């Protein structure tokens, strides 16, 4: 008997898989210095550490946009 899987279930599965892959690659990404790009703002005072990952956010946005575009293109 063939089961019909809802499209939303597939999307949740893909997103969950991406989170698992990102979690496994996290130590490697930190060693590469991905989260300390030149455009990121770091403010260190006595007991205060503020980090604004502006360049990292832009880079991740571009990567996620490309991934979502590819997924959308494959669904057509």
Residues 22-59: tens digit of each pLDDT:
889 888 877 876 667 888 898 999 899 888 889 888 98
* pLDDT number for residue 65: 94
3-state class (DSSP) for residue 76: coil
CA atoms within 13 A on the CB side of 57: 7
Q: Which residues contact 50 (CB under 8 A, 6 or more apart)?
A: 41, 42, 43, 44
């Amino acid at each position: 008997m063939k089961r019909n899987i809802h499209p939303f279930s597939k999307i949740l599965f893909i997103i969950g898989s991406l989170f698992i892959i990102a979690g496994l690659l996290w130590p490697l990404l930190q060693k590469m210095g991905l989260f300390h790009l030149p455009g990121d703002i770091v403010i260190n005072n006595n007991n205060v550490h503020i980090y604004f990952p502006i360049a990292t956010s832009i880079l991740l946005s571009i990567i996620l946009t490309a991934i979502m575009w590819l997924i959308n293109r494959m669904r057509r």
